Every structure is written in structure tokens, then in C-alpha cells.
Structure 1
Amino acid sequence: MTETPLLTTAYGIGREAFQAFLETRDEPGWLQEARQEAWRILQETPKPGPTDEAWRRTDIRALEVEGLATVVRADGAAPPAAVQAIPARREVLAGGLLLADGQRTQRWLEGRLERRGVIFTDLATAVREHPDRVAPYLGQVVRPTDGFFAAMNGAFWRNGIFLYVPRDVEIPLPLRAVLWLQGLPTDLSRILIVVEPGAQVTFIDERLADDAVGSAFHCGTVEIHLKENARLTYIALQNWGRYMWNFTHERAFVDRDSTLDWVVVGMGGGVTKTFLEVALVGRGATAYMSGVFFFDGNQHADYDTEQDHIAPYTKSDLLYKVALKDRARSVWQGMIRAHPGAQKTDAYQANRNLILSPHAWADSIPGLEIMANDLRCTHGATVGQINQEELFYLMSRGLSRTAATRLIVEGFFAPVLDRIPDPDVRRQADAMIHRKLGIPPEEE
């Protein structure tokens, strides 16, 4: 990897660092005020520790917050050609966006969509050029009060992605964005998606970093506003380097008669803690939450999901599948919450874990909070190893142990991978799984 020069002017999250950060920003007053409020909340919020229920299975005591470079810029090499090619495929996409170390290096959108009012750009540009579209929504779904890292992001985020789809606009091909980290030791970014009534869009969000980056830190948020009778298919691929501290708060508000199909593919990171929540705020809202996760080595991943049923006649369905090898560990904590008045709720959650090594470990913790009396809410969780009889059967038909294991793992993940509507993303997820299994690319 090409050596990338860094300009660092401040470390940590104290007053001096925050003031130095603000001096680097050319932003409107409303955003500066929001940052000031987030920083104030951050100073009052302790770093999570083992006594916090949501964090007691994820140890982050080794993370030195005051050692983080919060004012930093990279001026170096362009992203690799393979990364640049991902969002540039005009034959299968309606628009592409590439952010390298927080700087926009590529952006395009079909002209007819721009003429109809679709906005697809980096968040810093959107704040300057489209403040009327950004200001009413930024920080309204994920708030600084949601936790230490939510407050840190609210105060120090540098750039991110903004997608706005106007009323009744249907985008037949996906939009795709890539966040690529190659030279910075820290990344604080936001994703803001607003889909107006009657609109439809598929958005692919990919987060990438090479292991050559070394120890790094990512703190992100995802905010989704899905208006009445709209549809969003949101596919998130997380493939950070394995030395990444990765913390995110991700939440969607789903309004009346709208449908969110949210697919998460997670393979990277060193230590990951992610909060994912869908709030069904309008009558007849529907959310499908799917996840494919494969961790190896000493990776640790903790996913905290919530299906929050606020309005009546809402539906949610969650299926997360996890495979673990070597000494990897996963934690899934799921909650279905049905509020008073959320009658006729139909909610389901399932977490299935496949253990491929004797030292891998999975914690699976489903939960229900029911405050309505006319509904159906169910959950299930399993942790198990490969069935030896299945393995023996496949090997008896001439397959090697590696090939037999590969078929079993692929079959395990298939119910979730089949929910990915984009064939290119599906192939990419398959390749990521094969690499985890140690299968050379020429044998895929």
C-alpha cells in the first residue's frame, strides 16, 4: 500500500480537540449548534463498560478514546482500481458514490433522476447545497442521547452519504456507495436516507478497509426516514480490516403502509458493536431484517437489534445467521417491543449460529416486551456445530472435507442470501464467505 501522509492537529474528545475540529468546518449555524449539543452530551456520558447491560459481553477497555485522532486529513494515493470500479458500473446501477478517507472521489447519478429531484451525494456537500432537505432529518432518528458513540458521532462526524428520493419516484436500478478507508486511523461518518411517500429505491452501502491500515477506529450512524407507502431495500456490506474498532448506531423510522427490507452482511472488523433498530411508527408498516455474518481468528462482533412496534397492524421479521471459526466470538441480543396500542402486531425473530471450531463461541439472547394484548410475537435461537452425519454423507459421495464443509455452510446461509435482490452483491457475499473458509479464488 502506498504510504499516505497524514495531517493531524488534535487528539481525543476534549474541549481543545473539539474547538480545533470546529475550526476545520465551514458549516451553517444550525449544524454547528447541533454539534455543540452533541459534544456537551458526550462530556456527560461515560464510556461504556462491563457494568452496562448492553456492553457486558463486549470489552472495550483497551480502546483509548483520548488517543484517537479526531482532527485528521489524508492527502495520498487514490483508491485501488478494484475499489473505484465498484460504484462505477453504469450498466447495473442508477448512481454511484465513492468516499475515500472521508473525501468524495467519485459521484454520478442518471440525469433523469437528477431532473426529478433525486439527491445522491456526500453528506458534507448536501449540507451546503441542500440544507432544506438535510436539516429537518439529520440527527432526528439517531440522537446524541442514544449512547456514548452516538454522541461522539454527532459531535465529530466528518462526512458521509445523503440519499433523498422525492415523492412517487421509483428507481429501477440500485444506487451504490462505498466508504473506503486506506490512510486514516479514524473514520466518523453518517448515512442519512430520506424516502418520500410512494417512492421506491434499492441502496447498497459498502464499507471497506484493507488490513494494511492496521489498528483503526470507525464510529458511524445510519438514519432512515421511510415515509408513507414507500419502499426501501437497504443492503449493507461491512468488510472492514480485522484490526478495526467498529461502533455504529443504525435506526429506521418506517411509516404507514411502507416496507423496509434491510439486509446486513458482516465479515470484517476486529471488535464490532452495532445497534440496529426498526421503529414501525405508522399503521401497516413492515420491516424485514436479515443478516449474514462470518467471523474467524479473534474477531468479536456484538449485534443489538430491536423491532419496535409502535403503531397497530405492523409486521417485522428478523433472521440473522452467524458462522464462527477459530477463536471468534459473536453476541446477538434481540428485542421485540410491542407498545400499548400496537394491536395486531405480527413479529418474529430468529438467530441461528453455526460453530466451526472448538474454541469459537456464540451468545444468542432473544427478548420480548409485550404491552398489547392482541398480537403474535415469537422468537427462536440456536447454536450448534456441523452435523457429522451430513458431513460423512457428502464425503462418502467423493467430496473432500473442505468441499463438504463449504456446501453445508452455503446451505446454512442460503435462506438469507436468497433475500439479496442484487446478483452482484450476492456474488460478492459468496466470495467473502469462501475467503473465510480458506477457498482460493480460482476454486470458487
Structure 2
Amino acid sequence: MATRRRGVRDFVAPPFTRADVEAVSARFNEPEWLREMRLNAWDLYESLPMPTTQDEAWRRTDYRHINWETAGTLVPATGSGFEAIPEANRRPLLGDDQGAMIAFVDGECVHHEVNEALASQGVIFMDLHQAAAEHADLVKEHLFTHAVLPSADKFAALNAALWTHGVFLYVPRGKAVSLPAHSIFYNTQTGATLGHILVVLDEGAQIDYLHESLSTDMAQDASYVGATELILKDGANLRFVNLQDWGDGMFEFSHQRARVSNDGQLDWVTGQMGGKLVKAFMEIDLDGKGSWGRMSGVYFPAGQQFFDLDTQQNHNAPNTTSDLLYKGVLKDKAHTVWQGMIKALPGAQKTDGFQANRNMLMSDDARADSIPGLEIQADDVRCTHASATGQIEEELLFYLMARGIPRKDAEKLVVDGFFVPVLDRIPFENVRERMMAYIERKLLA
């Protein structure tokens, strides 16, 4: 008979209940269709097992050390305002003109503004609860129906059942929006928040959108269970930047998925800087002929941070193109896993897919696992991948130091140069500067 090793925890579920789902729905006086959606998702959640290291997608991610006693309790309203968010993150993205901004602190909406230039074009950018009430047809059509499905795994079902706050962005047909949208999720308290982002671009629509997830450092474990859905219809064009700088103690479990229709274009940049453990699924489906997607990522863990980033490029139609570049720098005893897959379904002829992962190790104890993959079911494709991991080049550091540059400054120059190809894809100069500041802070820590 099998016995459990002493001291080894099980993969236990957080202590949420059906009553929590009902309470969240009642608190926002949600329409009946949304309440039913939540409860159906909860039934699915209860039927699904917790992911374990026996599951291929989770084989390298052991999160059993999370303390659900603190990380599995919904964060209560704290009364903190917009000013609680660091000033640098609240600034307009382009010059002095704020496009559209919405911010949440501990799951509460504390700020919302939409420039008249966007409102006059019919752009909807608001709290997802408000959108479900005021734009029910749009939200009901797209929420958990096209991109992130509750059946993906137990954490996806949990988000569908218990999301506490969210953002809805809709750009009408043919509208090319010049000012960007910006949203912030900021946490100050230990506990759990569940955020959701739903973006719908109608035919020929165009916009740039930055989302940031941040928190203070926390002495006890906290959790964020998130979902992001990006839906681009024919000819739509979205530049989406998703940055996170969680504080110590945060565990993130998230699903992020995009669906791109005929001739649509998605330029998706992610930055992973903070958190105790991050498990993020990022998936792009090129559903329409001529659709194009680029996925770019930077990550910089230090200490004993662990990031598992799972990317997937699905070519579901002919004449589609995807391009992925993820670059990471690791310090101390940090550990990262990047698992990438390019899939070309039968009939997806003329597929052009590429993925590359590069890692730079700044200590002997850091570890980066890089696992590219191809699954090709069409016979007229060009799909390739590349991966490289190595220590920071001492010869290059010596060259810089021999010219009077201190070692720390030399390391910063090397790391900056390593990240620049990805950072240059962020369309907001002040955001690029903030990312450089994050990198410098990590290097000097």
C-alpha cells in the first residue's frame, strides 16, 4: 500500500465556497445570466482536480508551499484610494493627455476616466461589473465563451466563478483610437483577488492598451487568480502590454488567451518582475486567414522567485504568422521555466511560426529550463524554434571594467543591452523607462 512521505503536503484547494460566489454576485447586484454563469463555473470548479506535478503542464511547478489560510481569503474593502498606487504608474502614457484609465486597489475600483476623444468614437472602457449591467449583450457574447474557457483547469474555473474585479474594453468597428487605454490592479493586503480583463476589438478597430499588476511586499502569502481574454475580429489591430511587479509573498495563477480573426494583428508584450511564484498560461490563436501575432516577454527573477511561463502559438487557419521572443535574466537562486509550443492544425498551410527563448544567468545557483516544442499537422509550413541559456559573459564585463566602468554598472549595461530588443517593442517611452528602473533595482538588490 502506498504511503505518503512525512512532511509532504498535498495539492489542496483554497477554502472558497459556493457561498463566496453567491456573496460576490449579490454584492454587485449582478444580472441573473451572470449569476448563473458564476454558479455553473463553480460546479465545474468543484468537479475538477487541483493541478499537480503529475500533470504535464504543471510538472515543474510545485506550489504546495502556499499557505491557503492567508492566500485563500478574499481581500476585504480597505478604503484605500487612487493615491495608494505609486505616482509613476498613474501618469499618462503619452504626453499630458490621459486616454482612458481605470484603477483598482484591493479589488475596489478607485479611479475611472475616459477621454472625450475616445468616448466620442464609441469606445467602452469600464469596470466589468458595470459593463455586464450596461452592455449585457456584448459582455455575455464574449465573456468566457471564445478565449479563456472555464474548463481549461481548476484555476480557470475558479476565476470564472469568483472574479472579484475586472476591466471591459470595446472598440467599435473601423475606429482607430490614437490615445491608449491603461488599467492597474494594485494590492496592499494579504489575501486573494481574482481579476479579469476582457478586450473586444470589432472589425478594423485599433488601439494600444497597457495593463499593470502591482502590489506591496507582504509578510504572508497572498494570491492572484487571473484571466485575460483578447478578441480581435477581422482586420483589428491591438498592441497589448501586460506588466506585473508583484511584491514578495504573491502567488499568481493566470490564464491569458487571444483569438485573432482574418487579417487581424496582435502585438503582445509581457513583463514578469515580481511575485513569489508565477504560473501563467499565455496563448494566441490565429483563427483567420492572414492573421498575425507577435509575443514578446521579459522576466527577471531574483532571490528564490519561481516563474513558469507557458506559451502557445496556435495556427488554426492558412497563411498565418506568429513570432515569439522571450528573454530572461536570473539572479541568486531564482528558477524559471519557459514551455513554448507552436501548433499548426490540418489545413493551416503556409504557416510561418517562430519562437526563441534566451536566458542569462548571473549566479551559479540560478536555473532556467527552456522547453520549445512543435506540433505540425500541415505539410506546407515554416516553423522553427531556438533556445539558449548561459552565464553572463565575464569577458565582456572585463572589457567594460578595463575602461573604468565599475562591475555593477558593467552588469547593468550588459543586461540592458540583452533586454532592449524586447523593451523597444513597448510603445510607451515612460513605461520603457520604468522597466529599466525595475531592472536596475533588481541588479542592485
Which whole-Å deviations, capped at 9, do the CAs of 1:128-179 have from their partners, x for residues lacking one? 1211221100002101100110001011001111100001111112111111
1:338 corresponding residue in structure 2: 344
Q: What percent of counterpart residues are identical?
A: 45
Give the counterpart of 1:176 among 171, 182, 194. Answer: 182
Give the counterpart of 2:379 among 328, 348, 373. Answer: 373
Which range moved further: 323-332 or 209-218? 209-218
Which whole-Å deviations, capped at 9, do the CAs of 1:9-37 have from their partners, x for residues lacking one? xx823334444444434111111111111
1:103 corresponding residue in structure 2: 108
Residues 28 and 180 (structure 1 numbering): CA distance in 2 closer, same or farther, change over 3 Å? same
How is 1:10-89 mapped onto 2 (pairs within 5 angstroms)?
Answer: 12-65=15-68, 68-80=71-83, 83=86, 86-87=89-90, 89=92
User: In the aligned structure 1, how far is the partner of 2:144 from the partner of 2:234?
Assistant: 20
Contact 2:218 2:250 (8 Å CA) reproduced: no
User: In the aligned structure 1, how far is the partner of 2:250 from the partner of 2:66?
Assistant: 11
User: In the aligned structure 2, how far is the partner of 1:400 from the partner of 1:72?
Assistant: 45
Residues 436 and 95 (structure 1 numbering): CA distance in 2 closer, same or farther, change over 3 Å? same
User: In the aligned structure 2, how far is the partner of 1:217 from the partner of 1:15?
Assistant: 19
Gaps of 5+ in 2: 1-13
Contact 2:357 2:388 (8 Å CA) reproduced: yes
User: In the aligned structure 2, how far is the partner of 1:225 from the partner of 1:373?
Assistant: 28
User: In the aligned structure 2, how far is the partner of 1:195 from the partner of 1:20?
Assistant: 32
Residues 88 and 404 (structure 1 numbering): CA distance in 2 closer, same or farther, change over 3 Å? closer
2:195 corresponding residue in structure 1: 189
Report deviation, 1:388.
1.5
2:76 match: secondary structure: strand
Q: Could you say what the CA RMSD is over the residues aligned between the two structures, in angstroms?
A: 1.7
Which whole-Å deviations, capped at 9, do the CAs of 1:395-430 have from their partners, x for residues lacking one? 111111111111111111111111111101100110
Gaps of 5+ in 1: 1-10, 440-444
Match status 1:116 vs 2:94: no
**1:34 counterpart letter in structure 2:** M
1:204 corresponding residue in structure 2: 210
User: In the aligned structure 1, how far is the partner of 2:150 from the partner of 2:72?
Assistant: 20
Residues 293 and 114 (structure 1 numbering): CA distance in 2 closer, same or farther, change over 3 Å? same
Match status 1:311 vs 2:314: no
User: In the aligned structure 2, how far is the partner of 1:137 from the partner of 1:84?
Assistant: 33
2:317 match: secondary structure: coil
**2:113 counterpart letter in structure 1:** W
2:268 corresponding residue in structure 1: 262
Residues 75 and 191 (structure 1 numbering): CA distance in 2 closer, same or farther, change over 3 Å? same
2:283 corresponding residue in structure 1: 277
2:300 match: secondary structure: strand
Contact 1:12 1:67 (8 Å CA) reproduced: no
**1:386 counterpart letter in structure 2:** I
Contact 1:124 1:158 (8 Å CA) reproduced: no
User: In the aligned structure 2, how far is the partner of 1:123 from the partner of 1:301?
Assistant: 28
1:211 match: secondary structure: coil
User: In the aligned structure 1, how far is the partner of 2:192 from the partner of 2:62?
Assistant: 19
1:13 match: secondary structure: coil
Residues 72 and 394 (structure 1 numbering): CA distance in 2 closer, same or farther, change over 3 Å? closer
2:5 corresponding residue in structure 1: none
User: In the aligned structure 2, how far is the partner of 1:117 from the partner of 1:165?
Assistant: 7
User: In the aligned structure 2, how far is the partner of 1:137 from the partner of 1:144?
Assistant: 13
Contact 1:248 1:273 (8 Å CA) reproduced: yes
User: In the aligned structure 1, how far is the partner of 2:355 from the partner of 2:340?
Assistant: 8
User: In the aligned structure 2, how far is the partner of 1:204 from the partner of 1:322?
Assistant: 21
2:142 corresponding residue in structure 1: 137
User: In the aligned structure 1, how far is the partner of 2:124 from the partner of 2:428?
Assistant: 22
Which whole-Å deviations, capped at 9, do the CAs of 1:20-69 have from their partners, x for residues lacking one? 44443411111111111111111111111111111111111123557654
Task: State the TM-score, normalized to the length of structure 2.
Answer: 0.93
